[in-house]
Structure 1
């Protein structure tokens, strides 16, 4: 691996590094070693981010060509792998758009700010906020083109969705992680549900509770997005051998919400004994 031509990465294996990718950026993100090498763990991480970039790029190309577009808000940004890669591969060559990284850990926010400054990525901003607090923040645009959340844990994905709905995001790109809220609710009402319906056998054992809780969480999220005016596609991010947190939810704002989706969501909440979540997680549902 070498980095000629102003620090742009060149790889003998074209599947590893994208043409024109910044070698300095990949080293700073610890994807490349200082010698310009990829280890197996970094290769898996890069594969996930690149694959997600492919989905995102197709959506961004639908936006009007204008200096203010695209505006991308990345929730649970962490070290901002995704935001930096999007900026380097899409925004920087076009000279337009803005990436906002939202992260709760102040040391990661400061690290990302310093890295963006060193690289000259001047249209990247990093905010020390939770996704829930971001909904009320004046530091973010009133309307945004895209909301992303890559492996945002538990209810942080729901908070990212709420932000997207509040800011009328044209697109949402979500890879949920570690959903625990619904599983906890299922455990609390397990005895009652077992006496009420044979469906409760689906979550009688703790392992099944966790797995079913994760599945139900994402189904409810998709129905909520459809009820709020989004067209939803669910697919795999990468092969399961690379990551078990592999469900990719793509949402596109299309206008009026689907009443049938809202009805189905309420029916599922009732069937699984999750009615308490209606007001806390799905407050934007249209009236029944």
Structure 2
């Protein structure tokens, strides 16, 4: 197999000063950051900036992980074309002797394409699994522990499945960009008449557009509370500027082991206020019972 083409620093600068020394030119072309002629236009410059911006968030987390005999393990859920996994491997994992990246995707054609690209690039510690997020938690193809879990634009409840996966795999970090949060909005719709009779706050989701938007907001708030109740410190920020994507909320969860009782209590209170307590038996089951290790911290 012919080795992948990697340009020296001088050649990279000639193409574009933004591109880092040692990056795979073939990969950048596959991701449509470079044109087939090796050029970088204005649109691809914006895309490259977004890729680096996300990489910088995750790189800081990877550098915090202690050294181990197995190396770092990372699972990327709803991987799609696996652009995130490839960039992480190219910029971080490639120079390490150890460490594995697992791309989890339900579309077999994308999984196959990623496998072929990884083989061409010589990225031997990348693995691509044709599984749903929920199925991956029980798959023997993944190790018992995963250090970092990512899920970028994993649709609707796939983000919740990624959180459940991270809890089961004792992840040290989770990096989530939720998308298409429809489950809570559907529950709000079903209970709308009763809620309007019970409280004027139901006006917040009386109109269908507001139901959808409020459903998305509540979903992410519940996820953050659930993560805090499960022993994670949570940071919420913007991924990129809102002009690039409306689904732009980045949730970073760092495991501390401090399970917050107050977060579990607030989670239950929010669910009760919006008539969503059925979710305590599905999405947020663990936090409904509390924990002996829980702290009273807010």
**Does the pair score TM above 0.5?**
yes
Match of 1:31 among 17, 30, 33: 33
Are the counterparts in 2 of residues 8 and 21 from structure 1 also a CA contact under 8 Å? no
Structure 2: distance between partners of 1:45 and 1:166 = 33
Match of 2:8 among 5, 9, 15: 5
Match of 1:78 among 77, 80, 94: 80
Q: Deviations over 1:80-134 (max 9, x none)?
A: 0000000000000223211000000000001000100110000000000000111
Alignment RMSD: 1.9
Shift of residue 188, structure 1, vs aligned partner: 1.0
Corresponding residue number in structure 1 for 2:296: none
Structure 2: distance between partners of 1:41 and 1:181 = 34
1:23–1:185 CA distance, 2 compared to 1 (3 A): same
Corresponding residue number in structure 2 for 1:98: 100
TM-score by length of 1: 0.94
What does 1:44-55 correspond to in 2, within 5 Å? 44-55=46-57
What does 1:1-288 correspond to in 2, within 5 Å? 4-5=7-8, 9-10=12-13, 13-15=16-18, 17-287=19-289
SS at match of 2:233: strand
Are the counterparts in 1 of residues 75 and 103 from structure 2 also a CA contact under 8 Å? yes
Structure 2: distance between partners of 1:7 and 1:36 = 14
Structure 1: distance between partners of 2:28 and 2:10 = 10
SS at match of 2:275: coil
Aligned residues, how many? Answer: 286
Shift of residue 9, structure 1, vs aligned partner: 4.1
SS at match of 1:175: strand
Are the counterparts in 2 of residues 179 and 213 from structure 1 also a CA contact under 8 Å? yes
Are the counterparts in 1 of residues 238 and 248 from structure 2 also a CA contact under 8 Å? yes
SS at match of 1:232: strand
Shift of residue 135, structure 1, vs aligned partner: 1.0
Shift of residue 138, structure 1, vs aligned partner: 1.2
Shift of residue 206, structure 1, vs aligned partner: 1.1
1:244–1:38 CA distance, 2 compared to 1 (3 A): farther
SS at match of 1:248: strand
Q: Deviations over 1:63-96 (max 9, x none)?
A: 1234522100000000000000000000002232
Shift of residue 3, structure 1, vs aligned partner: 6.9
Shift of residue 286, structure 1, vs aligned partner: 4.9
Shift of residue 141, structure 1, vs aligned partner: 1.1
1:151–1:40 CA distance, 2 compared to 1 (3 A): farther
Are the counterparts in 1 of residues 7 and 24 from structure 2 also a CA contact under 8 Å? no
TM-score by length of 2: 0.91
Q: Which runs of 5+ in 2 are unaligned?
A: 291-298
